[in-house]
């Protein structure tokens, strides 16, 4: 009887210990996540695949996600934050569109002290807050918006070379006209192209301040200040010099890329993302991705490009303050940002360049992709206008630049209009 009782007690004790093990060390850490993508696009398909693989390797972590795309995602972010249903981890950014909701809800979390500096190249991640905070871990280096694409083969055919100064470009005008090609092509019918892909670079150069735009939005500078007016006047200068045609305000995005692809222009103005859309392989393979050369009257930021902070995944304040959740989320993010995954995003154009420390780009990458990596990791970045300026002031600026190029408005008048709207 005693022996039976002892055996029963031992069985109960063993069951209790196993039960404690399951409820303690074996308990799953749940990371509530808002993910970006859907089941029909690469972002969504890759997200599901990566999460499944991670959870198999880390059975004690559950990435409990909601997967949404485009406007549905933004609407759900607003709804969840308003209801207090704050996720631990989310797809977010640091600009007006991707960062503002989290900022207004006081849910931005500084990742800097928790990131592994042996894994991430911290020098490639820009400050996102006034005190140098990093509110999300970007998928890659900042998104370059002001690339000057150059057809090197066509330049050489005309006895020309990549420019070092704006004056070098002006000197190309006679030969370009004689050959029946434009010097610089831009999709001027798209108002945003003037701001994002050209003026953002010009303002940084003319002011010598890489963060002039965000200071103006805060009211520390004015859009009527001489440096901004001079930046707008540069548009008229380019038209007068024959560098950009006044009729470019009629050219849409597709026509711009087609003109360049069909050797109808020496240079093309657009963001880095257009590199994969150059249809003619001969042109694509001979394309140089350049920062704009030195401009007349510029005060600094030579060789700079305007670039917007890349979106990525970040902990919310709610998630970041829970140690177990924070550690699990950061472990998942390192898996998500791993070298094989980064290489794939580099190949398909989803990112400009990786933020992994010591990353070596594969030798078989196309030339234009390798150039993106070099430009992204070497050029100084300046503000992209519409990452900070939104609504009526930005709309007035974009439309105003089209009017300046077509000779319908003066720079000072557009600057005054933008300043007035920005202070309402």
Answer yes or no: is 272 within a domain: yes
- 251 and 324 share one domain: no
Q: Is the pLDDT of residue 13 over 50?
A: no
- 297 and 196 share one domain: yes
The beta strand positions in 245-358, using DSSP E, are: 265-270, 287-290, 305-308, 312-315
3-state secondary structure of 181: coil
Strand order of the sheet with strand 381-382?
A: 143-144, 305-308, 381-382
Q: Is the pLDDT of residue 341 over 90?
A: no
Q: What is the pLDDT of residues 143-168, one digit of tens each?
A: 899 999 999 999 999 999 999 999 99
pLDDT for position 361: 78
CA distance 424 to 417: 11
**Alpha-carbon torsion angle 351, 354, 360, 366, nearest 10:** 10
In angstroms, how far is the first alpha carbon of the chain from the final one? 89
Answer yes or no: is 81 within a domain: yes
* 405 compared with 130, residue with greater pLDDT: 405
- 291 and 390 share one domain: yes
CA distance readout (Å), 410 to 36, 193, 199, 298, 402: 42, 19, 15, 20, 11
pLDDT for position 26: 66
- 37 and 66 share one domain: yes
Answer yes or no: is 371 within a domain: no
Residue 314 tokens, joined: 């970040």
Residue showing tokens 């472990």: 331
**What is the sign of the dihedral through the CA atoms of 257, 261, 264 and 265?**
positive
Q: How confident is the model at residue 39 (pLDDT cuts 50, 70, 90)?
A: confident
Query: Can you tell me the mean pLDDT for 218-245?
Result: 97
Strand order of the sheet with strand 147-151?
A: 182-186, 265-270, 147-151, 287-290
Answer yes or no: is 80 within a domain: yes
Which residues, in sequence order, are CB contacts of 230 under 8 Å at separation 6+?
206, 297, 411
* Residue 333 structural domain: 29-142+309-358
- 197 and 181 share one domain: yes
Q: Is the pLDDT of residue 327 over 60?
A: yes
Q: What is the pLDDT of residues 48-82, one digit of tens each?
A: 999 999 999 999 999 999 999 989 999 999 999 99
Q: How many domains does the chain have?
A: 2
- 336 and 276 share one domain: no
Answer yes or no: is 100 within a domain: yes
Query: Can you tell me the mean pLDDT for 372-383?
Result: 88
Answer yes or no: is 372 within a domain: no
Answer yes or no: is 368 within a domain: no
- 126 and 36 share one domain: yes
Q: CATH number for the domain including 156? A: 3.40.190.10
- 301 and 393 share one domain: yes
| 42-57 and 339-347 helices, crossing angle to 10° | 170
């Amino acid at each position: 009887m005693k022996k039976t009782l002892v055996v029963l007690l031992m069985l109960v004790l063993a069951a209790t210990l196993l039960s404690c093990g399951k409820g303690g060390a074996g308990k799953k850490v749940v990371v509530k996540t808002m993910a970006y993508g859907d089941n029909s696009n690469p972002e969504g398909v890759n997200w599901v695949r990566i999460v499944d693989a991670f959870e198999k390797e880390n059975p004690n972590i559950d990435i409990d996600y909601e997967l949404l795309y485009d406007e549905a995602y933004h609407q759900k972010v607003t709804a969840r934050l308003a209801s207090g249903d704050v996720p631990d981890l989310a797809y977010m950014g640091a600009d007006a569109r991707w960062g503002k909701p989290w900022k207004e809800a006081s849910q931005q979390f500084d990742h800097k002290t928790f990131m592994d500096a042996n894994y991430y190249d911290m020098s490639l991640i820009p400050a996102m807050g006034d005190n140098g905070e990093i509110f999300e871990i970007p998928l890659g280096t900042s998104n370059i918006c002001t690339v000057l694409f150059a057809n090197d083969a066509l330049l050489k055919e005309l006895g020309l070379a990549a420019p070092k100064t704006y004056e070098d470009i002006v000197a190309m005008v006679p030969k370009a006209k004689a050959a029946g090609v434009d010097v610089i092509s831009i999709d001027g019918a798209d108002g945003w192209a003037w701001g994002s892909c050209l003026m953002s670079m010009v303002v940084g150069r003319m002011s010598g301040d890489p963060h002039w735009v965000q200071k103006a939005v805060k009211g520390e500078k004015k859009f009527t200040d001489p440096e901004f007016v001079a930046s707008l006047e540069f548009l008229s200068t380019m038209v007068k010099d024959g560098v950009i045609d006044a009729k470019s305000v009629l050219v849409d995005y597709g026509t711009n890329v087609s003109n360049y692809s069909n050797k109808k222009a020496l240079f093309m103005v657009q963001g880095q993302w257009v590199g994969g859309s150059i249809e003619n392989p001969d042109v694509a393979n001979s394309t140089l991705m350049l920062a704009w050369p030195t401009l007349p009257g510029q005060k600094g930021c030579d060789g700079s490009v305007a670039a917007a902070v890349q979106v990525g995944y970040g902990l919310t304040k709610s998630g970041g303050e829970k140690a177990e959740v924070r550690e699990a989320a950061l472990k998942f993010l390192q898996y998500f940002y791993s070298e094989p995954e980064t290489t794939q995003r580099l190949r398909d154009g989803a990112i400009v360049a990786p933020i992994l420390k010591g990353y070596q780009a594969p030798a078989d990458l196309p030339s234009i992709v390798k150039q993106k990596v070099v430009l992204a990791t070497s050029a100084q970045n300046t503000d992209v206008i519409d990452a900070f300026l939104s609504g009526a002031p930005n709309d007035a600026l974009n439309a105003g630049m089209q009017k300046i190029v077509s000779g319908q408005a003066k720079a000072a008048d557009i600057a005054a209009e933008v300043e007035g709207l920005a202070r309402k």
